[in-house]
Amino acid sequence: MNRSVIIATIIAVGVTGWIVSGQFEQPETVAIDADAQKSEPNASEIAAALRPKKVDPTQVDVQMFNAELRAQQIVVRGTTESIRTVTIKAETPGRVVAIYVEIGQRVKKGDTLVKFAIKDRRAQLAEAEALIRQRQIEYKAAKSLSKKGFSAKTTLAGTKALLDSALAKAESVRIKMADLIIKAPFDAVVEERQAEIGDYIKDGNSVITLVDEDPFLVTGQVSEVYVNKIKIGDKGISKLVTGETVEGVIRFIGKKADPATRTFRVELLVENDNSDLRAGVTAETTFSTEEVMATFISPAILTLNDTGILGVRSVDDSDIVQFFPVNVLTDSSAGAWVTGLPAQTRLIKVGQEFVRAGEKVNPQNKTAGVQ
């Protein structure tokens, strides 16, 4: 057989086999494509998958709170002070010859405390008084002669000046003699005694220290934030570390701040009829200012918003969460008084940390009152 015919025959058989093979596999390919097409989601299924699933509102416990008028309180820490502490000093030198009081003794105004030796001062006074009598005679004679025209006016003026000088000298001696007796300038208690009998005291040296016991002061430093909220005459209550509680009125508020603390000195004047108070005792003073609308809540309700502002979360009539910034007036273990809330507010007591402002919630009402 011709070689070319044999080759053509082989090629024809191969092509025929390839065609037959393709026809058998075609139905399988079509089936696979159909299954793949069947497994692909349609547009409605994709939209359904992308649609957010419905979530039930967060359940929170809420409670109705009512605001009421309450005086704002400012607490100042300080100490007690005597209203007057005076160290009496010698006004003339001398030796102490008598002391009439002891430390801790109470004295009245005008009581004699200490005496110095008189020595020659009585003689000095007698000499000054004698000179006065001489100058009076000279002045009287000059005056008589002047009236009759036998003496010049300058002579009369000279004798008058000498008389006045003698009078002044005598008065000076009397004052120095009075300075030898030290008396109490006001009702007080003897706190210190720097002189003893026999001591020689120079003028200007300390002799005795007196403390005025009644009234007393409770002092402290009020912050610049609150200084304009109090005024002279306002009442205050001080609790002392020794256990006493005293009431009084503000008598002084500083006009110049302490540069280190930016605080102002404030003084509360209190009665001390029984002399129970002592200076230097630690005290905590509470001043009541003007009344403001405040709400009493549990400190556990307080929270911070995303920017760190202190406040509370409430629920409005549409069950939407709201955030109210608040200021704390006073706080204790029982609760806290805060300002910044409406007259009536439905506050979240449980769950406030799991919700945010603007979110709808499922509120569960609780009985009124702080729990």
Residue 358 belongs to a domain:
yes
Q: What angle do CA 166, 170, 171 make, to 5 degrees?
A: 115
Contact between 92 and 176 under an 8 Å Cβ cutoff? The reply is: yes
Is the bond preceding residue 215 a cis peptide, omega within 30 degrees? yes
Residue 40 belongs to a domain:
yes
Return per-residue pLDDT of the chain as tens, 371 residues.
Answer: 555 656 666 666 565 655 555 554 444 444 445 455 555 666 666 666 666 666 688 889 999 999 998 877 888 999 999 999 999 999 888 899 999 999 999 999 999 999 998 877 777 878 888 888 888 888 888 888 778 777 777 887 888 888 888 888 888 888 888 888 999 999 999 999 999 999 999 989 999 999 998 899 999 999 998 898 899 999 999 999 999 999 999 999 999 999 999 999 999 999 998 888 999 999 999 998 878 889 999 988 999 988 889 999 999 989 999 999 998 877 777 888 898 999 999 999 988 888 888 899 988 886 444 43
Residue 298 and residue 346 share a domain? yes
3-state SS of the chain: helix, strand, coil percent to 5? 30, 40, 30
Residue 260 belongs to a domain:
no
Q: How many CB atoms lie within 10 A of CB 27?
A: 9
Residue 119 Ramachandran class (φ > 0 left, ψ -120 to 50 alpha, else beta): left
- Looking at 179, 203, 223, the residue that finishes a domain is 179
Residue 160 and residue 126 share a domain? yes
Residue 313 belongs to a domain:
yes
> How does strand 206-223 pair with strand 68-89?
antiparallel
- Looking at 151, 179, 207, the residue that finishes a domain is 179
Three-class secondary structure of residue 139 per DSSP: helix
How many independent structural domains does the chain possess?
3
- Looking at 137, 154, 179, the residue that finishes a domain is 179
Residue 210 belongs to a domain:
no
Q: Look up the CATH number of the domain holding residue 141.
A: 1.10.287
Paired residues of 298 in beta bridges: none
Burial class (CB in 10 A: 0-12, 13-18, 19+), 169: middle
Residue 90 belongs to a domain:
no
**Residue at 9: amino acid letter:** T
Domain that holds residue 124: 118-179
Residue 351 belongs to a domain:
yes
Which token pair is 297? 């809540």
Which token pair is 282? 């630690």
Output the pLDDT for position 312: 94
Which token pair is 13? 């058989």
Residue 301 belongs to a domain:
yes
Residue 357 and residue 300 share a domain? yes
DSSP run (H or E) holding 166: helix 153-179
Q: Look up the CATH number of the domain holding residue 326.
A: 2.40.420.20
